[in-house]
Amino acid sequence: MAEAERIIGTPDIPEAAGDGPEQSGPDSEETAAARQDGQRQAESGSEDAGPGDGGSAGKGKRKIAVLFAVAVVAYAFDLISKMIVVAKLEHHEPIDLIGDWLRLSAIRNAGAAFGFGEAFTVIFTCIAAAVIVVIARLARKLYSLPWAIALGLLLGGALGNLTDRLFRAPGVFEGAVVDFIAPKGFAVFNLADSAIVCGGILIVLLSFRGLDPDGTVHKD
């Protein structure tokens, strides 16, 4: 019997469903389509992930780095310029840059930006410190590059003038800010004031466009 089976041969047995490398039936096509849909959903989900995912967290850290980099640059320019003015320009004649339209003239300002409110030095010092704290807390939810630049300008300017309030005469919290940029017919100011104003203008523009610090855009 065994010899007869060997001579005649055993008929081919079709492979069981799923054992072959490919299936051409309707079930296999549906399975492949479902697999492709799952891959597309996974890819789109990774791209649209919210602030809690790793990618957005990395972007948030980069925006925070931009904020503090802008703040450091603004603060450094303000501090260095004031040191030069105190050493070279204070108690000297003003320097004309563009005729009498723009000159450098060193003064000590106990008030707010552009010489306003000299009787409230301590209050302005507290306000500057509060602004710094608010910006530092807001930075944790920062995902917008324009907002990072704007807040960095505000932070650098606030730190620049706060440094004068704390370490210059007549004393702590009452120090006079060094101002030296004197346009014709306008108040004398410094680079910290300029950074604060530029940051404030940028924030207003971003608010008008509906861009929030977390990167979302809304239309009222």
Q: Which of 193, 212, 214, 220 is catalytic?
A: 193
> Cα dihedral sign for 201, 205, 208, 210?
negative
In the block, residue with structure tokens 């005469």 = 169
Q: Which two tokens stand for residue 152?
A: 């960095």
Q: At what angle do helices 54-84 and 145-167 cross, to 10 degrees?
A: 40
Residue 213 CA to residue 200 CA, distance in Å, equals 14
Q: Which of 37, 53, 179, 214 is catalytic?
A: 179
List b or e across 122-153, with b for residues whose CB sees 16 or more CB atoms inside 10 angstroms.
eebbeebbebbeebeeebebbbbebbbbbbbb
**Catalytic status, residue 179:** yes
Residue 81 CA to residue 163 CA, distance in Å, equals 13
Q: DSSP class of residue 86?
A: I
Residue 124 CA to residue 180 CA, distance in Å, equals 19
Is residue 195 within 8 A of residue 202, CB to CB? The reply is no
**Catalytic status, residue 96:** no
> Cα dihedral sign for 82, 84, 89, 94?
negative
Residue 66 CA to residue 1 CA, distance in Å, equals 86
Active-site residue list: 179, 193
